[in-house]
Chains A and B, each alone.
Chain A
Amino acid sequence: MSTSVAFTHAAIQALAEDYSVDVLHIKGPAVDDSLRRWSEGLPQGRRSIDADILVRPSQVQHLVTAMLHHGWELKFDFLDGSAFTHAATFVHEGLASVDLHRFFPGIGLEPGEGFERLWEDRRHTTIAGYPCAVPSISAQRLILLLHAARRPNAPTSSDVVLVWRNASVGERLAVRSLAEQLHAELPLAAAIGELDRFRGMREYTLWRTISSSDSSLITLWWARVSAAPTLRDAVEVGWRQVRPNRNRMAAALGRAPTTREILAAYRDRTTLGLRQSAHLFRRGRRR
């Protein structure tokens, strides 16, 4: 376990207590030993390099204000992160970065209700000698599976083998029951290879695309657009996926991108999208 990641979890827990904010520590050192022991032997690249924190949605702004007051800086806003726009990244000198989650992708219940359901069954684990609030073991198992569902070849991934394939019948039932309560059955199915049970549902294509190894930019774009619940959401999601992210570009360049660089990024993304569309079209005709 990285000392700086552990210290970061402890620091955020202490800060949350000082400002009466409810947080749950997820992934990395917050995961129960029974689910983590195996992953400790993984290569360095698979170990946590940041601290993942789920905050009660109604208190996000309160915690962000506290963090900024205590030396944390916003690196990526919620809209700059993943396409789910679920997490913002904060950095602090001498500590690991924090991914602050306002909800967890895959949990379909309204974010406040979803957090409350996880909060009800919370427990405490000691990280860097400090007691930190974490979800129940079943919820930890589900969160790891929902996270795995967002990676290619999810059903055969090592995390799924560890937390699902090696789980007892009772442990699996508990995870399925919790997934039902959190409206997370479909993403869970994507992780454990049962997605076909949900064929025809609005989010089926999105999770099939995300969890498979065959996900071109264009199919992912279309999957996200078609999974949006309203037309307005679809337009917003579609546009955000195409638009180059200025903050991400600035982080990569080490400075603000120039207009020329932004236009070039638009051109590159459009060219890539057209190439992939042509490839998909040709493949479709061969079938």
Chain B
Amino acid sequence: MTLYARPQRVAFDIVLKGSLQIPVVFLMPLPDGPALCLRGVAARIWIEAVQGEDDVAARVAARMGEERARIEPEILDFLDALVSDGLLTIAGEHR
């Protein structure tokens, strides 16, 4: 399992929207940006990842009421994309 962290030079803000307090994540690579916004599952994946969750797919699947096996490939692809865009960094591997 891969452990993720927020890169030090990425500013962030998590805003809880509406009565359901659904998180929206705003991110900005420093110092130049651009700022971007993650909503819905994308926001949830980023939050779980930076909280040091060692099995992000399992956590997100549980929150969504989905089968982990069905959504795991897409979640892992998205995590890879966040890493390549510099919005997440790999903190280590967990066996």
Residues of A within 8 A of B30 (CB): 10-11, 13-15, 130
In the complex, what distance in Å separates the CA atom of A128 from the CA atom of B11? 5
In the complex, what distance in Å separates the CA atom of A70 from the CA atom of B33? 10
Residues of A within 8 A of B33 (CB): 7, 11, 94-95
Q: Which of A1-38 contact B (CB under 8 A)?
A: 1, 3-4, 6-7, 10-15, 18
Docked-complex contact B28 and A18, CB < 8 angstroms: no
Residues of A within 8 A of B6 (CB): 129
Docked-complex contact B13 and A128, CB < 8 angstroms: yes
A interface, over-half SS? helix
Residues of B within 8 A of A15 (CB): 30-31
A71 CB–B CB distance under 8 Å: yes
Residues of B within 8 A of A71 (CB): 32
In the complex, what distance in Å separates the CA atom of A10 from the CA atom of B35? 12
Q: B33 — nearest CB in chain A belongs to which residue?
A: A94
Q: Which of A62-115 contact B (CB under 8 A)?
A: 70-71, 94-95
Docked-complex contact B13 and A18, CB < 8 angstroms: no
Docked-complex contact A7 and B32, CB < 8 angstroms: no
Residues of B within 8 A of A4 (CB): 35
Size of interface on A: residues with Cβ below 8 Å to B: 20
Residues of B within 8 A of A94 (CB): 33-35
Q: Known interface pairs A3-B26, A7-B26, A129-B6. Does A70 touch B13 (Cβ–Cβ under 8 Å)? A: no
Residues of A within 8 A of B82 (CB): none
Docked-complex contact B13 and A7, CB < 8 angstroms: yes
B39 CB–A CB distance under 8 Å: no
In the complex, what distance in Å separates the CA atom of A34 from the CA atom of B6? 28
Docked-complex contact B28 and A10, CB < 8 angstroms: yes
Q: Which of B25-44 contact A (CB under 8 A)?
A: 26, 28, 30-35
Residues of A within 8 A of B8 (CB): 130
Residues of B within 8 A of A13 (CB): 30
Min distance, Cβ B11 to any Cβ of chain A, angstroms: 4
Residues of B within 8 A of A130 (CB): 8-9, 11, 30
| Most chain B C-beta atoms within 10 Å of own C-beta, residue among A13, A70, A130 | A130
Min distance, Cβ A20 to any Cβ of chain B, angstroms: 14
In the complex, what distance in Å separates the CA atom of A94 from the CA atom of B34? 7
Min distance, Cβ A8 to any Cβ of chain B, angstroms: 9
B-to-A contact residues, CB < 8 Å: 6, 8-13, 15, 26, 28, 30-35
Can you give 27 contacting A-B residue pairs, CB < 8 Å? Answer: A3-B13, A4-B35, A6-B11, A6-B13, A7-B26, A7-B33, A7-B35, A10-B11, A11-B11, A11-B28, A11-B30, A11-B31, A11-B32, A13-B30, A14-B9, A15-B31, A18-B31, A94-B33, A94-B34, A95-B35, A127-B11, A128-B12, A128-B13, A129-B11, A130-B8, A130-B9, A130-B11
